[in-house]
Chain A
Amino acid sequence: MIKEVKIVSKNFDIPNSHNIEVALKNGRYSSIDKLWSYNNQDIIDIVKDSGLRGKGGGGASAGDKWALMPLDGDKPNYLVINCDESEPGTFKDREIISKDPHLLIEGIIYSAYAINSHQAYIYIRGEYKEFQDILQSAIDEAYSKNFLGENIFNRGYNLDITIHRGAGAYICGEKSALLESLEGKRGHPRLKPHQKEPEWYFDNPTLVNNVETIASVPFIINNGAEAYKSYGTELSSGTLLFALSGHIKNRGVYEAEFGTSMMDYINHYGGGIRDNKKLKAVIPGGASTTILTAKEVENITLDYESLRAIGSSLGTGGMIIIDEDTNMVEALKNLVEFYHHESCGQCTPCREGSSWVDTIMKSILDGVANNRDIDKILEIANTMNGKTVCVFAPALADVIRGFILKFRDEFEGYIKVD
C-alpha cells in the first residue's frame, strides 16, 4: 500500500501559500539560522550524504555536482535553476513556482551559499508567463524583507535572483543549450568534456540544477541527511513529484517516495484508468523514456535502478497513461513530430533522422508503406546512437525502438503493399 509523504509538496494545498507572510507561518525560511552555522563545504557534504539526485530527468548525484564548483576561484560562480519544463508529460516545477515559490527561493539561498555564488538565474520556459509572474512577486517580496539583495539577513552575504525567460525551444532544457540561450545565443547543446567539470556561463563556473532539486534542499538542511535518506530506496533516496497524465481518472502531480510500486501509485493517486478501460502501456518518465507494456508495469517500482533494469528510465517521473483503445502508430507519429520539430539541427543523424522517420511514419499511416519500411525506421534509429552532441537523438532512438519492438503487430497492421 501507499504511504503518503509530502516533502516538497507540503504547502501546496495551503491557500495563498505563494504569499510571503503565509509562507513564513508555514515553515519557509525557518532554517536560515542553521545555514549560517555551517560553512560551504558542510552544506555540500550534507547534500552529498542525503543522496539527493537531480530531479530534472538525469538523476545525477546533486552533491557530487556541487563539489565540482571551485570555492575559492577568482572568477564568479553562478547558480542556474532549470525551469524549462518542456518534456512532454512533465508539469511539476510549475506546481512549485506557483504554489510554493518561497520554497524554491529558500533552496536557492542555501544552494548559492554552498557553492559561493552571488548571482542565481532562473531560466523559465517562455510559455509559463503567468507562473513566472507569481514567482517574480515572491522574489520581490523576498527582496523587500532583505532575504535577497545585499547583506541578506544581515549576514554580510549578497545574493541576487534574476528570472530569464526562454522563448519556446524544448532543447533549451538541456543544460548546456540552456546556458547558450542564457548567453543570448541559439539554444545549441555544447560538446561534453571528457572529465567531470562544472558547466560554464560566459566562461565562469556554473551549477545547473532543476527547480525541484533545489526545492528539496531546505528539507535536508532543516532535518539532516539521514531524515531525507529515510525515504525512498538505498540508491534512490527521498521523494519525487511524480505526475499522471493521459487516460487516468485523477490526473495531476502527487509526491511519492522512490521505490513505490507504479501500479499502486496509479491506482491510489490516479484512481485507475479512465472510463474503466484496461491499461495498455505507460511512458514512465516523460516522453523521452522507453514505453512500458501493461505487463511490464505490473511489477515495477518507481526508482532509477528498477526502471533502468528493464531498459527504460525514470526520467522526470511524469507518467503518460495509455489505455487499450489507443492507436500506437498514431501515438508514435505524434511523438516523432515533436522530436522532428524540436531537434536543434546541429547533428545530421538527429536533424535528418527525425525528419526521415516522420516521413516514413506518415506513409505507414497513409497505408502506402511496406514491411521493409518498419525495419528501415529501426535502422535509422540505430544511426542516432552515440554520434550526436547531446542525448536528444539517442533518447528518440529509444522511443522509436520501444514502440516498434513492443507493438510491432500494430505497425504491421497498416502494411498493405508488399
Chain B
Amino acid sequence: MTFSSKNLQKIEQLKKKYPKVEALTLPLLWIVQYQEGYISLDAIKEVAKYCNKSAMEVYSVASFYTMFNLQPVGKYHIQVCKTLSCKLCGQEDIFSSLKNILDINTNQTTDDNLFTLSQVECLGSCGTSPVMEINDKYYENLTPQKVEDIINDLSKKS
C-alpha cells in the first residue's frame, strides 16, 4: 500500500501540528482506512515508517481501537448502539429488523458486499435513541419502518 499524493500532502501538514511523529499513529490509520476501506498488514507497515515505530507497535495500537477495521467491511458499515438508553427505547426491535432485512448476523457482511452489521456501545446519542451510525452518519429516533426505508435508499443508490 502507498499513500495517494493528496494524502502525502495531508501528512506533511499533520506533522507540523504535533511535537513528535509518534502522535501521527491514529491520524494516519484514519487516512489509510478512508483511502483503502480497511487497514491491511501492508498498510500497517507503511504507517510505521512515518511514525517512528515498528509495524508490531502500530498493529498493537490499531487493534486496540474498535473503529479501525483490520478486515474489509461492506460499503456501508452499520453500527447499532446496544447500550442501556437505547435498550430502554427499543434497540432490540431495530436490531432484529436489520437482521431480517439484510439476512445476516452481527459482524457479517451481505453477499453483495454492501452492508456489514455491527453492534456497538453507547454512541453518545442517548436522547435520540434507538440510534445507529452508517459510515460517518448518525440515524436517530429509529423505528423498524425507518430502518427499512434507510436500507432501501442505500441499496437503490448503489
Which A residues have a C-beta under 8 Å from some C-beta of B? 76, 85-91, 94, 119, 125-130, 160, 162, 164-170, 181-187, 201-202, 204, 243-247, 251-253, 283, 287, 318, 320, 322, 326, 330-331, 334-335, 337-338, 341-342
B71 at the interface (CB under 8 A from A): no
A130, A243, A251 interface centre (most CB from chain B within 10 Å) = A251
How many residue pairs, one in A and one in B, have C-beta atoms under 8 Å apart?
143
Q: Indicate the member of B24, B123, B133 with the most A CB atoms within 10 Å.
A: B123
Q: Which of A160, A186, A337 has the most CB of B within 10 A?
A: A186
- Flag whether B97 is at the interface (Cβ < 8 A): no
Asked whether B9 is an interface residue with its Cβ less than 8 Å from the other chain, the reply is no
* Pair B19/A287 contact, Cβ less than 8 Å: no
Chain B nearest CB, measured from A212 CB (Å): 13
**Chain B 117-145 interface mask (CB, 8 Å, partner A; 1/0):** 00011111111110001001110000000
| Pair B22/A130 contact, Cβ less than 8 Å | no
Chain B nearest CB, measured from A362 CB (Å): 15
> Which residues of chain B have a CB within 8 Å of any CB of chain A?
17-20, 22-27, 29-30, 51, 53, 60-61, 64-68, 79, 82-85, 87-89, 120-129, 133, 136-138
Given contacts A89-B85, A341-B121, 6 further A-B contacts (CB under 8 A): A127-B133, A165-B30, A187-B64, A245-B127, A246-B89, A330-B87
Q: How far is the CA of A42 from the CA of B133 in the complex (A)?
A: 44
- In-complex Cβ contact of A86 among B60, B87, B124 (8 A): B124
Q: Is the CB of B26 within 8 A of A245?
A: no
Which residues of chain A have C-beta atoms less than 8 A from B30's C-beta? 126, 165, 167
Option from A88, A162, A201 in Cβ contact (under 8 Å) with B126: A88
Inter-chain contacts of A185 with B (CB < 8 A): 22, 25, 61
Q: B138 is contacted by which of A130, A181, A186 (Cβ under 8 Å)?
A: A130
CB-nearest residue of chain A to B128: A251
B64 touches A186 (CB 8 A): yes
